[in-house]
């Protein structure tokens, strides 16, 4: 049963790599996207657009571009081979996943992806991921395919005044993956009071 207590949902969220092929309903996707657009953005410009991908051929190609991007990032010319068995991995069997959501952002005057512009898009991504977790669904924020930006934009028909920012597979976690249980450093060990290095009580 999905847990909708806010802090329990936050605690349950984690990056999921393996998914069941079970379908995700249109109604759940609508709820998740509505949560995303409730996020704040600079001057309330709401620079986001969302592409819901269900077409198996497009999902398969997105997985391939992710693998190619990963190889490029490692400096390899060959994509790592698929595992011979095991649960559905979002890159190697992307066509079997229920759905992907590509989050896009309006470019505006700046052409760079930087941390300041990210402040107007990543709150929406986080809302999306938390809403998914509240419904018992797993997600994973992926960006490695940025090494193949042009191919991704052409595949999804993204216009020149927008850019793809985050690709999220969406589905029910498959063992060995699950929601919750990720180890995190306690906040008190990462927090200072008034000055860097001064422990907070």
Range name among 25-39, 119-133, 170-184 with the lowest pLDDT average: 170-184
Beta strands in the chain (DSSP E): 18-19, 48-53, 88-89, 99-106, 138-139, 162-171
pLDDT, one tens digit per residue, over 140-176 is 998 888 888 999 999 999 999 999 999 999 999 988 8
pLDDT, one tens digit per residue, over 57-82 is 999 999 888 888 777 777 766 666 66
Give yes or no for a contact between 63 and 86, defined as CB atoms under 8 angstroms apart: no
Give the Cα separation of 29 and 128 in Å (integer): 9
Give yes or no for a contact between 126 and 33, defined as CB atoms under 8 angstroms apart: no
Res. 43 pLDDT band, cuts 50 70 90: confident
- Tell which wins on pLDDT, 146 or 104: 104
Residue range 6-189 forms a domain whose CATH class is: alpha beta
Q: Give the list of residues 6+ apart from residue 82 with CB closer than 8 angstroms, or none.
A: 89, 92, 93
Please tell me whether the overall predicted TM-score, pTM, comes out greater than 0.75 for this model.
Answer: yes
Write down the pLDDT at residue 176.
Answer: 82
Q: Examine the pLDDT at 90 and tell me if it is beyond 90.
A: no
């Amino acid at each position: 049963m999905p847990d909708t207590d806010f802090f329990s949902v936050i605690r349950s969220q984690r990056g999921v790599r393996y998914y069941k092929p079970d379908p995700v309903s249109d109604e759940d996707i609508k709820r998740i996207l509505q949560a995303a657009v409730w996020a704040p953005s600079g001057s309330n410009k709401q620079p986001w657009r969302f592409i819901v991908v269900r077409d198996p051929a497009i999902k398969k190609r997105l997985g391939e571009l992710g693998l190619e991007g990963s190889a490029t990032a490692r400096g390899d010319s060959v994509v790592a081979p698929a595992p011979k068995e095991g649960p559905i991995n979002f890159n190697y069997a992307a066509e079997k996943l229920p759905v992907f959501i590509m989050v896009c952002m309006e470019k505006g005057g700046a052409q760079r992806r930087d941390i300041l512009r990210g402040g107007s898009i990543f709150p929406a991504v986080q809302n999306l991921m938390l809403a998914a977790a509240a419904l018992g669904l797993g997600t994973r924020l992926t960006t490695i395919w940025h090494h193949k930006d042009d191919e991704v934009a052409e595949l999804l028909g993204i216009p020149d005044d927008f850019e793809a920012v985050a690709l999220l597979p969406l589905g029910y976690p498959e063992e060995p993956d699950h929601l919750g249980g990720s180890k995190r450093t306690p906040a008190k060990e990462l927090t200072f009071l008034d000055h860097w290095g001064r422990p907070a009580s």
